[in-house]
């Protein structure tokens, strides 16, 4: 995956529950338009609406925003709902 970096402004952020797991999102305005990323709790708490910085991302994953590093990874798939038939 190729990384891209753009100047951005944090225009919104949200926290919601997905089952028992909290889901954090940050929304940015960039020269290419608006983009939204699922982020870690630490990144969510560090970001301030109106904050400006360099947004670095690859595909649909935010790597960093200014000095904020995103440790969230979507590589683990939740499968607790899956029941195998014996």
Q: What class has domain 3-69? A: mainly beta
For residues 85 and 18, give the distance between their C-alpha atoms in angstroms, rounded to a whole number. 26
For residues 80 and 26, give the distance between their C-alpha atoms in angstroms, rounded to a whole number. 26
Domain ranges in the chain are 3-69
Q: What is the pLDDT along the chain (86 residues), one digit of tens a residue?
A: 689 999 999 999 999 988 888 999 999 999 999 999 999 999 999 999 999 999 999 988 999 999 999 988 654 444 445 455 54
Residue 59 is predicted with a pLDDT of 82
* 2 close to 58: Cβ distance less than 8 angstroms: yes
CA atoms within 13 A on the CB side of 27: 7
Strand partners, 56: 5, 64
């Amino acid at each position: 995956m190729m990384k891209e970096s753009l100047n951005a402004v944090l225009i919104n952020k949200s926290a919601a529950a997905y089952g028992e797991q909290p889901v954090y999102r940050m929304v940015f305005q960039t020269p290419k338009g608006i983009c939204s990323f699922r982020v870690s709790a630490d990144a969510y708490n560090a970001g301030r609406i109106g904050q400006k910085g360099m947004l670095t991302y690859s595909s649909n994953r935010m790597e960093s925003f200014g000095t904020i590093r995103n440790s969230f990874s979507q590589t683990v798939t939740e499968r607790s709902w899956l029941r195998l038939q014996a």
